[in-house]
Amino acid sequence: MRWVLLPTLPLLLAGCPPSQSEVVAVRAAHDFQCGEHDIKVENIGGGSWEAKGCGRTQTYNCVGGMTAFKGPALADPVMCQPEGSAPPPQQAPSTAPSNVAPSNASLSTPQ
């Protein structure tokens, strides 16, 4: 699983950045395949949130959002992922087939 930045366009258009709890509610509604209004979100501390709804429960870990030193225009984007997910990759893996010779390999013709 990778970090997901969920678009919350109505909040951004209103000039208010989304809070971590709002991002968790949108993410849980997507993950649980049910309506956002069916999701209850509770802060369990340290950027962790528990989402319950549609017979499911999931803990999400979030980073970003407003701090005491930043105003709405300077808020960091909120990113949340389900607890136990792999951290975001640092670099995309190579998509080259394994049977392709490296570019510096010399090619010989059969005799």
If DSSP codes are grouped into helix, strand and coil, which group holds residue 99?
coil
Between strands 56-65 and 48-53, the pairing is antiparallel
Model pTM greater than 0.75? no
Nearest CA among 48, 42, 33, 37 for reference residue 83 = 48
Q: Mean pLDDT score of the chain, rounded to an integer?
A: 73
Find the Cα–Cα–Cα–Cα dihedral 61, 63, 66, 67, rounded to 10°.
100
| pLDDT tens digits, one per residue of 3-47 | 444 444 444 445 567 889 999 999 999 999 999 999 999 999 989
Residue 71, pLDDT score: 53
Token reading at 31: 């993950």
